[in-house]
C-alpha cells in the first residue's frame, strides 16, 4: 500500500500575525481546477461540473473560514452587495466549513441572495485540493478562485493575513476580464 504525502506550505498565511501552514499545492492561473463535491444549504451535493453548469458558465469560489466571524460576514455581505458586478455567465459561491444549516441561517439574517452558500463540512479533500486548509486550525484560509468554463483556474488569490479582507476590486476586475 502506498501513501501520498500532502504538500505543506509553512508560513503561507498568518492568523493574527502568527504564521500558519497551508496543506496542499498553491493553485495558480492556468492550472486545472481540482474536482470537488460540496454541500448546498438544501443538503444536496454540488460538484465542479454543476458549479460551471457543465461548461456554460464560469464560477467564483469565495472561500472563508467561518461566516460566524466579523471579517467573513463582512466579506460575504460585500460580495453579495457587489454581486451585480459578477458577469452574467458566472456563478458566485461562498465556501466555508460551516454547516449548511448555519449558512442558511446566516444568509437569511443578512438578507444574502446574490451568492450561493456551499459547505465543505463533508468534503475534507476540498481544503488540500485548493491549497487552503490551515493545518493548525482545521479551517479554510480566506481565498478567492475563479474557474473558467473549461475547468481552468483563471484567478487564484489566498489572502496573506486570514483576518484581512480580499482586494474586492482586483477580484471583480479578474471576473470582468474572464466574462
Q: Which of 134, 124, 53, 133 is nearest to 93 (CA)?
A: 53
Strands in 90-96's sheet, in edge-to-edge order, are 45-47, 37-40, 116-119, 90-96, 58-63, 143-147, 153-158
- Whose cell is 500532502? That residue is 6
Catalytic residues: 72
CA distance 179 to 158: 21
**Pairing verdict, β 45-47 and 18-23:** unpaired
Amino acid at each position: 500500500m502506498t501513501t501520498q504525502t500532502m504538500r505543506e506550505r509553512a508560513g503561507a498565511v498568518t492568523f493574527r500575525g502568527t504564521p500558519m501552514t497551508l496543506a496542499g499545492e498553491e493553485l495558480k492561473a492556468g492550472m486545472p481546477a481540482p474536482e470537488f463535491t460540496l454541500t448546498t444549504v438544501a443538503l444536496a451535493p454540488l460538484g465542479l461540473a454543476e458549479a460551471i453548469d457543465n461548461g456554460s458558465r464560469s464560477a467564483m469560489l469565495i472561500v472563508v473560514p467561518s461566516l460566524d466571524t466579523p471579517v467573513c460576514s463582512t466579506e460575504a455581505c460585500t460580495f453579495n452587495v457587489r454581486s451585480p458586478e459578477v458577469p452574467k455567465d458566472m456563478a458566485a459561491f461562498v465556501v466555508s466549513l460551516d454547516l449548511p444549516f448555519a449558512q442558511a441561517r446566516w444568509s437569511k439574517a443578512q438578507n444574502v441572495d446574490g451568492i450561493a452558500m456551499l459547505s465543505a463540512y463533508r468534503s475534507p479533500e476540498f481544503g488540500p485540493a485548493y491549497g487552503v486548509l490551515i493545518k493548525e486550525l482545521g479551517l479554510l484560509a480566506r481565498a478567492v478562485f475563479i474557474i473558467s468554463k473549461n475547468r481552468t483556474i483563471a484567478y487564484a488569490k489566498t489572502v496573506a493575513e486570514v483576518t484581512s479582507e480580499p482586494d474586492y476590486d482586483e477580484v471583480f476586475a479578474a471576473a470582468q476580464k474572464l466574462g
